[in-house]
Chains A and B, each alone.
Chain A
Amino acid sequence: MSEAQQPLAVQKVQEQYPDAILDVSDARGELTITVRKDVIYELMAFLKNDSELAYNFLADVTAVDYSLMEDVLMKYDYARFMVIYHLLSTEKKERLRVKVPVHEKALSIPSMTSIWKVANWLERETYDMFGITFEEHPDLRRILMPDDYEGHPLRKDYPLRGRGERETFNFEQQNA
């Protein structure tokens, strides 16, 4: 894509954060930008508050464990996880997907709770399922699995049938 054809969101982000964008794709009409982790908090706040973009609605936060997809791993310097935000602008009726590569060595990313309240539980779920920590999250606990559960089920190296937790779970655990 040449500069002139770039969608508005990409242009504006590029202006604001010149080398934050690692990749842009527009497959199937869904605009996706992959950005660096260090500016993600400011970038998301910018996407929300900029009056021309106005991505006021955070639809979803999740992650993908790319450890079995070699080409994606190679592209992003062997970052195992990718945190994925789905944004929506109710005013402009546009959607945007923001992807952030996260390395296993530095398994954390800034929390968006202070920008969108909805991020709270979505991030907790991502933490529960993938073990990615969210910095400055007000209440980062497991949400779906029991508190004493070990492992993060949606990682690719976690077996579908678990590691025997189904039979040997702690009967007395009744989190107060």
Chain B
Amino acid sequence: MGLESQLGDNIFTTTIDKFVNWGRKNSLWPMPFGTACCAIEMMATLASKFDLSRFGAEAIRFSPRQSDLLIVSGRISIKMMPVLKKIYDQMPDPKWVISMGACASTGGVFDTYTLVQGVDGFIPVDIYIPGCPPRPEDLIDAVIQIQRIVEQESVSPKRRRGAIAS
């Protein structure tokens, strides 16, 4: 990138890291890729009772170019997968992916001719949420786990995407 790649590891960049990550993690902009039933629970998470904005992730952007967190919620068919891939490719780095629900993660109860058996065969996934559909609390939990991953990011390309543990 720019300046930060010249600087290397020193106290200056690590402080910037902390600052940038603090900002990033508390203002995730999700791109909801909701296709099926899980999307309804995702909407419920955003609505008044569960209110995802308590965690700074309520700025839903339907444009991939403005968002950094992709939430894949719902069944992905072989007709949809190219679209999803394209959307993932359009998102600017750094980006994270949540695979919400059994279908997005593994195909769920639908082991049929048309469903992709897990989006992780095609795009990298950071957090999987089990459940069919997962409860809104589960989605909130996943967002918090993403925040932990974000904390470990770095502006320096050498240290980007370090050990991911939650």
Interface on A for B, CB 8 Å cutoff? 145-146, 153, 158-163, 165-167, 169-174
Query: Once the chains are docked, how many angstroms separate the CA of A174 from the CA of B79?
Result: 9
Would you call A161 and B111 a contact (CB within 8 A)?
A: yes
- What 7 additional pairs, Cβ within 8 angstroms, besides A146-B79, A173-B82? A159-B113, A160-B112, A166-B116, A167-B121, A169-B78, A171-B82, A171-B85
How far in angstroms is the closest Cβ of chain B from A65? Answer: 15
Would you call B114 and A145 a contact (CB within 8 A)?
A: yes
Q: Which residues of B contact A145 (CB under 8 A)?
A: 79, 114
- Chain B's closest residue to A174 (CB) is B82
Would you call B113 and A169 a contact (CB within 8 A)?
A: no
Top 4 A-B residue pairs of the complex, sorted by shortest distance between their CB atoms:
A162-B113, A169-B78, A146-B79, A171-B82
Query: Once the chains are docked, how many angstroms separate the CA of A171 from the CA of B83?
Result: 9
Query: Once the chains are docked, how many angstroms separate the CA of A165 from the CA of B114?
Result: 7
B115 within 8 A of A: yes
Query: Once the chains are docked, how many angstroms separate the CA of A62 from the CA of B114?
Result: 20
Q: Which residues of B contact A146 (CB under 8 A)?
A: 78-79
Query: Once the chains are docked, how many angstroms separate the CA of A170 from the CA of B79?
Result: 9
How far in angstroms is the closest Cβ of chain A from B111? Answer: 6
Q: What are 18 A-B residue pairs whose CB atoms fall within 8 Å in the complex? A: A146-B78, A146-B79, A153-B113, A158-B113, A160-B113, A161-B112, A162-B113, A165-B114, A166-B78, A166-B115, A166-B116, A166-B117, A169-B78, A169-B82, A171-B81, A171-B82, A173-B82, A174-B83
Query: Once the chains are docked, how many angstroms separate the CA of A165 from the CA of B116?
Result: 9
- Interfacial residues of chain B within 62-84, with CB under 8 A of chain A in the complex: 78-79, 81-83
Would you call B111 and A165 a contact (CB within 8 A)?
A: no
- Chain A's closest residue to B86 (CB) is A174
Q: Which residues of B contact A153 (CB under 8 A)?
A: 113-114
Query: Once the chains are docked, how many angstroms separate the CA of A81 from the CA of B82?
Result: 34
Would you call B113 and A165 a contact (CB within 8 A)?
A: yes
Would you call A160 and B81 a contact (CB within 8 A)?
A: no
Query: Once the chains are docked, how many angstroms separate the CA of A160 from the CA of B113?
Result: 6
Query: Once the chains are docked, how many angstroms separate the CA of A153 from the CA of B113?
Result: 8
Majority SS at the chain A contact face: loop
Query: Once the chains are docked, how many angstroms separate the CA of A13 from the CA of B81?
Result: 49
Partner of A166 from B82, B85, B86, B114 at Cβ < 8 Å: B114
Chain A CB count within 10 A is highest, among B82, B112, B113, B115, for B113
Q: Which residues of A contact B78 (CB under 8 A)?
A: 146, 165-166, 169
- Chain A's closest residue to B80 (CB) is A146
Would you call B112 and A169 a contact (CB within 8 A)?
A: no
Query: Once the chains are docked, how many angstroms separate the CA of A98 from the CA of B121?
Result: 45
Query: Once the chains are docked, how many angstroms separate the CA of A173 from the CA of B81?
Result: 10
Query: Once the chains are docked, how many angstroms separate the CA of A162 from the CA of B86?
Result: 24
How far in angstroms is the closest Cβ of chain A from B52? Answer: 32
Query: Once the chains are docked, how many angstroms separate the CA of A167 from the CA of B116?
Result: 8
How far in angstroms is the closest Cβ of chain B from A1? Answer: 42
Q: Which residues of B contact A167 (CB under 8 A)?
A: 121
How far in angstroms is the closest Cβ of chain A from B118? Answer: 10
How far in angstroms is the closest Cβ of chain B from A116? Answer: 27
How far in angstroms is the closest Cβ of chain A from B82? Answer: 5
Query: What per-residue 1/0 map shows which CB atoms of B82-123 lie under 8 Å from chain A?
Result: 110110000000000000000000000001111111000100
